[in-house]
Chain A
Amino acid sequence: MSDLALDLARIQFGFTISFHIVFPAISIGLASYLFVLEARWLMTKQAVFLDLYHFWVKIFALCFGMGVVSGLVMAYQFGTNWAGFSTFAGSVTGPLLAYEVLTAFFLEAGFLGVMLFGWSRVGPGIHFAATLMVALGTLISATWILASNSWMHTPQGIEIINGQVIPVDWLAIIFNPSFPYRFIHMVLAAYLATALLVVSAAAWQILQGNTNVGIRKMLSMGMWMVLIVSPIQAMVGDFHGLNTLKYQPAKIAAIEGHWENIPGKASPLVLFGWPDMAAEKNHFEVAIPTLGSLILRHSLTEQIPALKDFAAEDRPNSTIVFWTFRVMVGLGLLMILLSLFSLWARWKKDLYQNKLFLRFALIMGPAGIVAMLAGWYTTEIGRQPWIVYGLMRTADAVTKHSVTELSISLTLFIVIYLLVFGVGVIYLLRLLRIGPKPNESLQGDAFSINKNEVEDFIIAAEFHPPHSTPSEKKED
């Protein structure tokens, strides 16, 4: 097995999962958002919530579809490319994945049809239940896959017999030490990424001079979400970091770009630098003495782990994770800043007029997605050279395909993913550009852009209680 083949296999997995993860994350966020919108509509009968539902369900359907097809690849890639891993640890990751399919994928798929196309075929209560099932499905799915992923970081509840993992205690496997932190951190990341997307779409509309009650509602709901979630996320991230410090000290050393401790002295915090794995030092380093110990150990003397404490072949690539971590944290701080700005604008009563705020909100649209990817690169590349931390090396997990085969498959993945998901994003942006309109919910079902409006109105009228007709929309 050449190093090149291993690298190609890793690049292929990284590439396919980077594309994949964005869509389920947005699906998690949007499904919960749609659930809230439909609940608010049922409670208040204000048409604006139904309008927003019908607008965002189109985006949801698009993201969900792309998530399904890109996820299918993931379910098979463990075997096609990581046979060693599957033979070794399939006894743990397999049942967890099976539970994900059984309890989440089928639930989502089973009720998605009704959620998207069932408005005229079931009553509002049943439709709401379908939305709830889909939203629950996305969260259940996240639970299982993060249990599985966390187990690869902090494996527990097993013994190894004849080179195969034997599960001993399933509760210990599922609720492994890093699972609670990773799960909450990821679900909040999905909510943040979605909220920022919603806010950004609204900000764009207002900056274009389009404003209606739906667009303002979107902006306001999204900003409350960011305001509440972004500080919590920072706290959860901090706890997650302390958990990593305990179980994967080498990852922390790599994230901090911290090479060695001087006996008796507290560890510094490297603010800036270019970690060089070969030279075992940082170029252009800017560091603050003692701050590393203070942040990670809450102490003025206790040292943090250093890369040189670990054999060279056991170190994760600090050059990458040092920077991906800083991208994530930087974007997180900007999110908190944006939410404080929104609070100030609300207090000033110019949330919907403040150009500076709206522009800031607009450019922060992709920030949640970028931060999430950066976070995943940090934790996954930080786990290297292990695939199951401390138990199996990535190099021993890979299927021994030739460089030719891997080059062909990787090229195909890149070409088709860029084409398909590139176009998907274009369609998504097109929808966002149209924006939610009053009467969106009277435009028929979820996919009604090119529709004969008269017929749609007839269909829509069947499921719209008379008092949801757009009387309050006249204010626009």
Chain B
Amino acid sequence: MNFDLPLIWAIVILFGIMMYIMMDGFDLGIGILYPFFKDKTDRDIMMNTIAPVWDGNETWLVLGGAGLLAAFPLAYSVVLSAFYMPIILMLLALILRGVAFEFRFKAHENERHFWDKAFIFGSIAATWFQGLILGAYINGINVIDGKYAGGPLDWITPFSLFTAVGLVVTYALLGSTWLIMKTSGELQNNSYRLTRILAFILLAIIVVVSIWTPLLSNQIAERWFTLPNIIWLSPIPLMVACLFYQLQKSLAAKANTSPFIYSLGMVFLGYLGLGISIWPNIIPPNISIYTASSPHASQSFALIGALIIIPLILAYTAWGYYVFRGKVSKDDHYH
């Protein structure tokens, strides 16, 4: 049998990145929202809601990198070289916030504020650079002879600056709806309030990106606005609108879990939309997954493992979330 390995691998990697955005998204969101919650007890609870799971969430980012190297080494080397500075800065920011989980609870009372700040700054900066990289990636990368041929600052464009802000809002919304689900009382009430505002901002951002992206290139415009694509793809914006409406309703009804689910849905559709815009390129604007593929022997060897093990990972990850299900209160001593 002849499998379309590059296609399957592209789907695996897209799935991994989606898992990363949705899962690390909400725990980075907690850091982004920290400034809105000054109380130490609130902050303890917020961190405790994600302490048992953040590490697994971040592992999807490592899978994205490793999968890209395994299946599309050309894309891995070109994309990471092109975005040298923002990637290094993102990684350093992730370090600052990652150690805050441990350090915050190990620090003396008078040192804690420093790690609170590191957690806030690291979460915002990591997200901001991820958004910047996303925008710059959609903008396209200049490649000559399989090597990055652009300048060191090509990643700074009006569009990438906008997507950077967009991703901060996205993760903040995931974080605030996660808090609605995992907390109670005043902390939950504040999360409802923040969610209402964040949802409107995110909707505006989605609209702007949806208009801006096709303006970036004819290729993307054609993808969306020619027949028959326009018919097949029109449900996507409609579903975003629908989910937004459901989200508002669930907030009004003070629902616990559904706001988080609807937010995840909105983020997923946004991600899908961007994916559709650049497909089947792995280095926009014109290097496809087929051009950048690693040898058949590499893709098939790694794929066997991926297809067997990823379901197992999903199973025990789900079990982990199940073990730590329910609301977290100040009486929970995770730390």
Contact = CB atoms under 8 A, between A and B. Distances in A.
Interface of A: 61-62, 65-66, 68-73, 75-76, 78-84, 86-87, 90-95, 97-103, 105-114, 116-118, 121-122, 164, 166-168, 170, 399-402, 404-405, 408-409, 412-413, 416, 420, 423-424, 427, 430-431, 444-451, 455-456, 459
Interface in B74-91: 74, 76-81, 83-85, 87-89, 91
Contact of A83 (B55, B91, B148, B301): B148
B51 A94 contact: no
Q: Which 3 A-B pairs have the closest CB atoms?
A: A90-B73, A79-B80, A113-B52
A117 to B, nearest CB: 4
B18 to A, nearest CB: 16
A79 B77 CA distance: 4
A94 B9 CA distance: 13
Interface string B82-103: 0111011101101110110111
Given A102-B306, A103-B309, A447-B105, A72 B56 contact: no
A121 B323 contact: yes
B230 interface: no
A448 B79 CA distance: 44
29 contacts: A65-B101, A65-B102, A72-B98, A76-B87, A79-B65, A79-B76, A80-B83, A83-B77, A86-B76, A90-B70, A91-B70, A98-B70, A101-B62, A105-B59, A108-B55, A110-B56, A110-B316, A114-B323, A118-B324, A167-B298, A399-B77, A405-B84, A408-B85, A412-B89, A424-B99, A424-B102, A431-B106, A447-B105, A455-B331
A444 B61 CA distance: 32
Contacts of B294: 90-91, 94
A454 B68 CA distance: 50
A147 B58 CA distance: 24
Nearest to A447: B335
A104 to B, nearest CB: 10
B80 A76 contact: yes
Contacts of A446: 335
B205 interface: no
Given A68-B58, A113-B53, A113-B323, A94 B317 contact: no
Interface size class of B (residues with CB under 8 A): 35 or more
Interface in B298-320: 298, 301-302, 305-306, 309-310, 313, 316-317, 319-320
Given A65-B99, A399-B84, A444-B333, A93 B62 contact: no
Q: Indicate the member of A66, A79, A93, A416 with the most B CB atoms within 10 Å.
A: A79
Nearest to B293: A91
A446 B324 CA distance: 15
A113 B66 CA distance: 23
B297 interface: yes
B313 A92 contact: no
B200 interface: no
Contacts of B35: none
B300 to A, nearest CB: 9
A75 B152 contact: no
Contacts of B310: 102
B249 interface: no
Contacts of B99: 65-66, 69, 420, 423-424
Given A102-B63, A111-B316, A116-B334, 13 more contacts: A72-B61, A90-B73, A97-B66, A98-B302, A106-B309, A110-B56, A110-B313, A170-B297, A405-B84, A413-B88, A416-B92, A449-B106, A450-B105
B333 A455 contact: yes
Contact of A87 (B102, B106, B146): B146
Interface in B20-37: none
B72 to A, nearest CB: 9
Contacts of B88: 80, 409, 412-413
A360 to B, nearest CB: 30
A43 B320 CA distance: 26
A400 B99 CA distance: 31
Interface of B: 51-53, 55-56, 58-59, 61-63, 65-71, 73-74, 76-81, 83-85, 87-89, 91-92, 94-96, 98-99, 101-103, 105-107, 109, 146-148, 152, 294-295, 297-298, 301-302, 305-306, 309-310, 313, 316-317, 319-320, 323-324, 331, 333-335
A95 B298 contact: yes
Contact of B94 (A69, A164, A167, A405): A69
A17 to B, nearest CB: 14
B111 to A, nearest CB: 9
Contacts of A68: 55, 58, 98
A86 B73 contact: yes
A117 B294 CA distance: 41
Contacts of A167: 295, 297-298, 301
Contacts of B333: 444-445, 447-448, 451, 455-456, 459
Contacts of B81: 79-80, 83, 399, 401
A447 B102 CA distance: 9
Given A65-B99, A69-B98, A420-B95, A75 B66 contact: yes
A181 B56 CA distance: 31
A423 B313 CA distance: 33
Contacts of A61: 102
B69 A90 contact: yes
A83 B298 contact: no
A117 B324 contact: yes
Given A76-B65, A101-B63, A102-B313, A83 B87 contact: no
Nearest to B101: A65
B77 A84 contact: yes
Contact of B317 (A71, A110, A400): A110
Contacts of A86: 69, 73, 76-77, 80
Contacts of B147: 83, 400
Contact of B91 (A66, A72, A431, A456): A72
Contacts of B320: 110-111, 113-114
A329 B226 CA distance: 70
Contact of A405 (B52, B56, B85, B103): B85
Contact of A416 (B95, B106, B313): B95
B297 A166 contact: yes
Contacts of A93: 69
A326 B263 CA distance: 59
Given A79-B65, A110-B317, A167-B295, A94 B302 contact: yes
B62 A91 contact: no
A164 B295 contact: yes
A403 to B, nearest CB: 11
B65 A75 contact: yes
Contacts of A111: 316, 320
A445 B324 CA distance: 14
Contacts of A431: 106
A430 B111 CA distance: 14
Contacts of B66: 75, 94, 97-98, 100-101
B4 to A, nearest CB: 18
A84 B310 CA distance: 30
A15 to B, nearest CB: 13
A77 B305 CA distance: 24
A272 B78 CA distance: 46
Contacts of B63: 98, 101-102, 105-106
